[in-house]
Structure formats: structure tokens, C-alpha cells
Structure 1
Amino acid sequence: MRPLTSYLSGTSITQRVLRGSAISGMGYFLSQGIRLASNLILTRLLFPDAFGLMALVTMFVLGVVMMTDVGLTPSIMQSKRGDDPKFLNTAWSVKMMLHGFYFVVICLLAWPAAQFYDAPQLVQLMPAVGASLLIGGLVSPNIEHAMRHIRLGMVTKIDLASQAASVAAMVLFALATRSIWALVFGQFVAAGVKAALTRHYLPGPATRFEMDRDALHELIHFGKWITLSSACGFVLSQGDKAVLGKYLSLEQLGVYNIGFFLASFPMALAENITGRTIIPVYRDSPPQESAQNFATVRRMRMGLSAIVMSMIAVMALGGPWIIDLLYDIRYQGAGPIVALIACAQVPVVLGMTYPQAALAAGDSRSPSLLTMLRAGVQIAAFLIGAEMGGLAGAIIGQMLAGWVLHLFIIRLAIRHRVWDPLHDALFAAVGLLVTFAGMSHMVIGG
């Protein structure tokens, strides 16, 4: 272990990424462990319709945030001025104004949302959760500064501490009230703890309100395409709930949300690691510049894809059994949902780092247009599949769309000279085998 520890403490890009990936991976596993434990407790204290309501609230809150996201985190991570206090202060000042805007818009949407989904409680729930974003705006930009340099130890500790505090608050509140407001209270605690910890324990320049004209221009220039990408990303991540929320009961939506939580774990882990480490890799070791850089990136992608695909296989084959084991009878309809969603994520694994390569090169336009295409195609496939085969047909439609869309992701990778055909061919074969095994297991299992 000593040689391994010594190697991981180095300062090369490979060592920093391996160290950062290990920290992010372990942190994410701990985070999901905490989330799963709280989920198991809260599903026994609250009824499924509470989770259905919170799925709708989360959908609207994420919609407002992602529709107006200007990409402050990737801007800081890729910019040559990412270490400049003026740049960081300007980014934080923009974030503060955005969070105030989020709160106002969420309040305005509360009543129409309640009418559309016939859920009167949204009138109170949405503004309450929106208010927690005001506290979230106080989070220091030093967290993005640390991610820029792949210093993820303290970042991970802060994330875990805020999550643990939130879970404790939710469980205690739910024990006392058996009310959905326990879930809302947890949002406030998480935001407050994270804001306090980033300001007191993360090294970096002191944060103050500042508007540097050049920094603002750079943020807007880079972020204008991120806004489009983020808006389309919302459609990708929440479009299913927007559609299903209209056609399923709140109880059924709550069961679906439980299944989605479990099945999305592998890709959520991958996105957590790639979002924190891959842009610096492509920035500092562009694969197109040397065979050594290409080999370095290939090794990282192979390792990450192997881990994610293994977890997808576990969910595709064992998801229904895991649901039966962990949850009570009210949630056991989520079993087949876990298996189907896991299979639908297989094609996404193949190209999950290529958009970061474009962002590292300063190209925010191409990934944004790609995300817009993905959003349109996958939601169309979801709706067509739903018409033809209900919920199962909708998820299968998304899976087929994912395989088609990978061709466009390859085109983006070729344009930036980062395509790795060996990686894609190998994991396409493994992914198809996992999908076939998962679907066959479901058919045999009845």
C-alpha cells in the first residue's frame, strides 16, 4: 500500500486525476449510502405520494435553475483566469443574482404548476424549496477553484457533511410530524451547512461582490451555449417526470422515482467523477497532441467505463431483487423500472467524456447543440414508446434513441480529435451483452 499511496500523492496530471477520481468515487459511494439509508427510513415514515410531490417540486426547481444556467463551474475550470480573484468574485456575484432570480420565478410558477398537476400543495412547497436556493447562493466560489486544480478532498468532505446534516434533519422532522415538510426542511439544512463550510474551510481568496467587465464578458461568452446545453439537459433528466406527472398518480410517480433513484446510480457516479476531473485532463493533456496523452486518457476512460458498466449490469440483473430486499410492499413495483432504466443507460457510457473534451478546448457550442439534439430525440422516443407500450415502452424508446445518438457523439469526438474507437467498440459489445441479459432475465422472471 505504501508505494500506491506514494504514487497517488504525486502532482502529475495522471496522479492528480487518479487521486481525484478515487476521492470523488469514494465520496459518491458514501453519499449514495447516506442517501439510500435515509431513503429506506423515510419511505417507512412517509407515503409514496410525498415522494411524488417532491419529484414534481424538484422538477420545477431544477427546470428554473438549468434553464438559466450560465456554466459558472466549467467556466472557472477551463478559463486561463480561473485563479484570478476578480474572475472568481465576478462569477460568485453573478451566481448570487441568479439565485435571487430563481426564487422569484419559482414563486411565480407555483400556482400554475399546482393547477396543471392538480396538486394544491405545490403552492406552498415550491416557494419554500425556492427559498433554500437563496442560501445556496452564498456557497463560496472556492469550491469551483478547488475543483479546477482537482483538490477534491475537502470538497468531498463538505458535500458529505452537508448531506449528513440534511438527512439527520429530515429523519428527525419526519419522525416528529410524518409530513412532507421534512423533505423541505432538509433542503434548508443542506444549503446552510454547505455555505458555512465552504466559507470557513476551503482555502482561496476572500469572496466579495465585484463585477469585472472582462471577466463578465468571458463568462457570458462561454456560458451562452452552456445555458442552451443546461436547458436541454433539464429536458433529458426531468422530461420523463414532466410527462409521467401528468398521467400517473402521485403514488405511482413516487414509486417510479424510487426506481429511478436506484437505477441512475451508475451514471450519476460517472457524471460526478467526469464533472470534477475530466475537463482538467483534456485541458492539460490533450489526446491529439501526443500518443502518450492519448494513451493516458484511454486508460482513464477504460477504467471508468469498466466500473460504470459493471454497476449497470448489477442493476439490470439484480435491480428487482434489490428493490424487494430493501423496500416494503408499497414500493416493490419499482423493480422492473430499475432493470429497464439500467439497460437504457448502456449507450450513454460509451461517449460520456467526449463533451468535456470540447469544453476543455473552449468549445461550449458543440456540446450544447448535441445536448439539444439528445433532448429532442430522447423525449420524442419516450413519448412514442409510451404510446406504443406504456411506461416500459417509453424507457425502451429512450434506450434505442441513445444508441442512435452515439453516432452524433462520435462526430463531436472526431471533430476534436479525441475519438477512441477501441474503447467504444469494446464497451458497445459489453453493453449489448448486458442489455440482452437484463431483458432476457426480466422476460424469464415473468
Structure 2
Amino acid sequence: MSVFGLTRFRGASLGARAVRSSLWSTGAFAASQLLRLGSNLILTRLLFPEAFGLMALVAVIIQGLTNFSDTGVMQAVMSHKRGEDPRFLNTAFTIQAIRGVLLWVFACLLAWPLSLFYNAPQLIQILPAAALSLIVMGVNPMRVATAHRHLLLGRVSLLDILSQTLGVLIAIALAWWMQSVWALVISGVLAAIINVAFNWAFLPGHPDRLQWDRAAARELTSFGKWIFLSTIAGFFVSQGDRILIGRFLSLGAFGVYNIGYFLASFPNMLGRMVAGKVLIPIYREAPPGESRANFLKLRRMRMVVTATLLAIIAVLGMAGLWLVELLYDERYRDAGPVIVLLAVMWIPQIIALTYDQAALAVGDSRNFFVLALFRAVTLLGCVYLGLEMAGLLGAIIGQGMAGLLSYPVVVWLSRKSGAWDPLHDALFAMLGLAVTAVLFTAHRADIVALAAGAL
């Protein structure tokens, strides 16, 4: 029976745990996105577009601080041979907690210069307050990483959804009461507190405490130094478009772009979430270069994942403009063509997203960094050139070009572990071109309007 068969789904094998974890992760992600969508529909009517543009900047900055200091603790616990050792876990927890406090200090120091750079004086007060969530997340228990290590994600997913639901309800109540961007700031911190409290209370496993083991710290930092550099590069890959576009556009227009980005990013975020949570354990326990059977098992999984994500892109691209008209008021209409273009331009990333984790599973964080760095440089360069040449339309097309230019490096990295599957890539490249042609034909007038300067 295949990895997706009922027997393996119910068992304790790697295949069963992978399928269950994928389903839990996918279900939790879908629920999370529905919650975000529902909260956006309500909050966009209670608040103003500038509030969402301002919070998008705050999110970019906080994500940048997080990535610029990632020590690779979660990945190390998931993949390291000492991932069950209490001293190793305590040391990882200590590193994470110290990092959270230091990140908040840096956020406070950056608030004033960044308020000048983005011409947003509100950042002086809002950024330090929002960054309190970094201290909170610093004391998240290592039990979360241990659950990921063993592909036991059911309870973790449920707790995430429950805490996000409570956070959304708090945000809506505060927005109705305060009519201010501070509703989003306060609710974000409270949601982090709720999530960490739930993880401490309801996840089984090792009771973390502050402890320092020199050998464990050495092993964590040795693995983590390349993860640290990779996440810096990863920040620019995930946020580079908004860093540059936020600098070129007004806060109101940037808020509209982020509405389009939120809806278009569903398949990309879903794929990366599943790959990040599920693939490291799979690659660790069933290396594709070890046997043909392992490779074919991964091919079946990869085919299903990519086909599902490409189908979502096709549906989202066709319905994007209608969704914006149905869900949002006239102020956000220009988000429609943004959805169509972004969904199409991310197809190269969708095709390649199941390869990255193979390097981390075998401890090759150095070459993983090489790929992340190349992607970051390529994305920033392509988006900047696109902005200079064709404004917002050029920036979006630049994201697609960056994905294409990065593909040879993805192949180089994935061949080292035996993970590269040219049949998969060729098949979905052809299907991706077909989807692109259909979407561009169907929405040509709206794309032309965006090119003429709709934003």
C-alpha cells in the first residue's frame, strides 16, 4: 500500500506520521488563513488602510529582527542526534530566551531611525510595544520542536488555532472599542502570550529550565551559525518585496498591496509550512539518495503536494478579482490584479519548494545558506530593477524572474542529497505555463490597468 494508504495513515510508521502531520498542518494552516481572512474583513471596516500599511511595516521589521538572529534552535532539536537530551534541550531553551530579550532591545533602538526612513513617526511608539511579543516567544517550550521532530503535530496545531482564534476575537473587540492601530498592536502581543501559555500547559514533554551545557552550546552554535546566516538571507527572500515596495509606495497603497499579498500567498505559505514541518524528519529517516524506494516515495509525495498547490493557484488566480470585490470595499479594488500576478509569479517557487529541507536533514546548513543567499540577492535585485523600470508591475514580475534565476542553484543543492526530480519539475513547469497563459488571458484588462498606474 502506498504512503497515502489507510493502513499507514493509522500506523506509527514514517509514512503514517508524515501523512497525519501533513494533514494536521494543512488543516491548521487553512483554518489560520480563514481566521485571518475573517478578521481582515471585519478589521478593514473598523480601521483605515494606513493602519494595515503601518502594521505591515512593523511585521516586516519584527520578522527581520527574528531572522537576523536565528540560532537554528528549532531545526537543531528537530534534526540533531541529541534532540532528546534534557541538557541539550535546556541549553537550547536558554539560548532562545536570551535571544528574545535582546531582540526587544534592538527593536527599541531601531524605532526612531526606522520612523525617519519610512516617514512614519508612529513607529517610535508602536514598534517597541509590538516587539514585546519577541520576549514572549523566547520562552516558548522546546516541546514544540520535539513534537515536530517526531511528526506529532496534532496537539500543536490545535493549540495554535485556538490561540489565534482568541487573538482575532481580541483584535476585533479592541478595534471596535479603540478605532486605532493600537488595537492590532495590543492584540498581537496578547495572542503571543496565549499561544506560549497554551504550549506550556498542554504539550507533554521535557520541562524546560534555564541551564548552560558547554558541549550542547557548541553543537547548537556550530549548526546554527549557517542557519543564522540563512535566515538573514531568508528574511530578504520573504520580505524583500515589501521592504522595497513599502519604501516606494504610500502607506495606503502599501496596505492595498498587502491585502493582495495576503490572499495570493496562500498556496506559497501552505507549501512552505508543510515542507518546513514535515520534510526534515522524512529526509532524515528516509534519505532519497539511499535507495530507489525512498526516492519514489518522495516523488509521490512531491507530485501530490505540487499538484495541489498549483490547482489552488489556478483557482485563486481566476477568482482573485471577484474575491476582492466580494470581500472588500472600493478602497481595496486594486488588490485584485495584484493577486493574479503574484500567484502566477510564485509558480517557480512552488515547483522548487520541496527540495530545500534535504540539506538541513543531513546537517548541510552551509550549502543551505548558499541557496538562501543567492535567492536573497536575486530577489532584491530583480524587484528593485522592476520598480525602477515599471513600478509595482515590474516589482511583481521581478519576483517571478528571481524564482527562475534561482532554480539552477536549487538543482545543485538537491542533487547533493539525491532529492532532485527532473520529471516532476518538467511536468509542473509545463502545467505552470498553461495556468499562466489562461490567467493572463482572462485578466488582461485588469493587468493592463495596473501597469498604467492603478496603484
Q: Give the corresponding residue for 1:260.
A: 261
Q: Give the corresponding residue for 2:147.
A: 146
Q: Give the corresponding residue for 1:192.
A: 193
Give the CA deviation at 1:316.
Answer: 2.2
Q: Give the corresponding residue for 2:286.
A: 285
Report the Cα distance in structure 1 between the residues aligned to 2:239 and 2:125, rounded to whole angstroms: 21
Report the Cα distance in structure 2 between the residues aligned to 1:189 and 1:157, rounded to whole angstroms: 18
Q: Give the corresponding residue for 2:113.
A: 112
Q: Give the corresponding residue for 1:161.
A: 162
Q: Contact 1:59/1:242 (CA < 8 Å) preserved in 2?
A: yes
1:273-328 CA distance string (max 9 Å, x none): 11111000000001111111111111111111111111111222221121111111
Report the Cα distance in structure 1 between the residues aligned to 2:68 and 2:81, rounded to whole angstroms: 26
Q: Contact 2:378/2:402 (CA < 8 Å) preserved in 1?
A: yes
1:23 has 2:24 as partner: yes
Q: Give the corresponding residue for 2:135.
A: 134
Q: Give the corresponding residue for 2:452.
A: none
Report the Cα distance in structure 1 between the residues aligned to 2:133 and 2:68, rounded to whole angstroms: 18
Give the CA deviation at 1:6.
Answer: 5.2
TM value normalised by structure 2: 0.96
SS in 1 for 2:12: coil
Report the Cα distance in structure 1 between the residues aligned to 2:354 and 2:367, rounded to whole angstroms: 14
Q: Give the corresponding residue for 1:175.
A: 176
Residue 323 of structure 1 aligns with an amino acid whose one-letter code is V
SS in 1 for 2:131: helix
1:308 has 2:309 as partner: yes
Report the Cα distance in structure 2 between the residues aligned to 1:369 and 1:112, rounded to whole angstroms: 31
Give the CA deviation at 1:73.
Answer: 1.1
1:275 has 2:276 as partner: yes
1:387-406 CA distance string (max 9 Å, x none): 11110111112202211211
Report the Cα distance in structure 2 between the residues aligned to 1:401 and 1:267, rounded to whole angstroms: 15
Q: Contact 1:77/1:144 (CA < 8 Å) preserved in 2?
A: yes
SS in 1 for 2:121: coil
SS in 2 for 1:140: coil
Residue 265 of structure 1 aligns with an amino acid whose one-letter code is F
What is the 5 A alignment of 1:166-245?
A: 166-245=167-246
Residue 161 of structure 1 aligns with an amino acid whose one-letter code is L
1:216-254 CA distance string (max 9 Å, x none): 111101111111110011111111221122221111011
What is the 5 A alignment of 1:39-78?
A: 39-78=40-79
Q: Contact 2:288/2:417 (CA < 8 Å) preserved in 1?
A: no
Q: Give the corresponding residue for 2:382.
A: 381
Q: Give the corresponding residue for 1:331.
A: 332
Q: Contact 1:323/1:334 (CA < 8 Å) preserved in 2?
A: yes
Report the Cα distance in structure 1 between the residues aligned to 2:317 and 2:409, rounded to whole angstroms: 26
Query: Greater CA deviation, 87-96 or 186-195?
Result: 186-195
Q: Contact 1:316/1:435 (CA < 8 Å) preserved in 2?
A: no
Residue 348 of structure 1 aligns with an amino acid whose one-letter code is Q
Q: Give the corresponding residue for 2:413.
A: 412
Q: Contact 1:162/1:189 (CA < 8 Å) preserved in 2?
A: no
Give the CA deviation at 1:4.
Answer: 6.4
Report the Cα distance in structure 2 between the residues aligned to 1:416 and 1:6, rounded to whole angstroms: 29
Q: Contact 2:83/2:89 (CA < 8 Å) preserved in 1?
A: yes
Give the CA deviation at 1:160.
Answer: 0.4
Give the CA deviation at 1:350.
Answer: 1.6
Q: Contact 2:8/2:15 (CA < 8 Å) preserved in 1?
A: no
SS in 2 for 1:11: coil
Q: Contact 1:165/1:189 (CA < 8 Å) preserved in 2?
A: no
Report how many aligned residue pairs link the two structures: 444
Q: Give the corresponding residue for 2:393.
A: 392
Residue 238 of structure 1 aligns with an amino acid whose one-letter code is Q
1:28-81 CA distance string (max 9 Å, x none): 111111111001000110000000000111111111110111111111111011
Q: Give the corresponding residue for 1:82.
A: 83
Identical aligned residues as a percent: 44
1:355 has 2:356 as partner: yes
Report the Cα distance in structure 1 between the residues aligned to 2:117 and 2:8, rounded to whole angstroms: 56
Across the aligned residues of Structure 1 and Structure 2, the Cα RMSD in angstroms comes to 1.3
1:423 has 2:431 as partner: no
SS in 1 for 2:289: helix
Report the Cα distance in structure 1 between the residues aligned to 2:288 and 2:246, rounded to whole angstroms: 43
Q: Give the corresponding residue for 1:10.
A: 11
Give the CA deviation at 1:5.
Answer: 5.8
TM value normalised by structure 1: 0.97
Q: Contact 1:316/1:338 (CA < 8 Å) preserved in 2?
A: yes
SS in 1 for 2:206: coil
- Structure 1: tracts of 5 or more residues without a match: none
Q: Contact 2:115/2:122 (CA < 8 Å) preserved in 1?
A: yes
Report the Cα distance in structure 1 between the residues aligned to 2:136 and 2:199, rounded to whole angstroms: 12
Report the Cα distance in structure 2 between the residues aligned to 1:366 and 1:440, rounded to whole angstroms: 40
- Structure 2: tracts of 5 or more residues without a match: 449-455
SS in 1 for 2:376: helix
Report the Cα distance in structure 1 between the residues aligned to 2:398 and 2:286, rounded to whole angstroms: 37
Q: Contact 2:87/2:213 (CA < 8 Å) preserved in 1?
A: yes
Residue 122 of structure 2 aligns with an amino acid whose one-letter code is Q
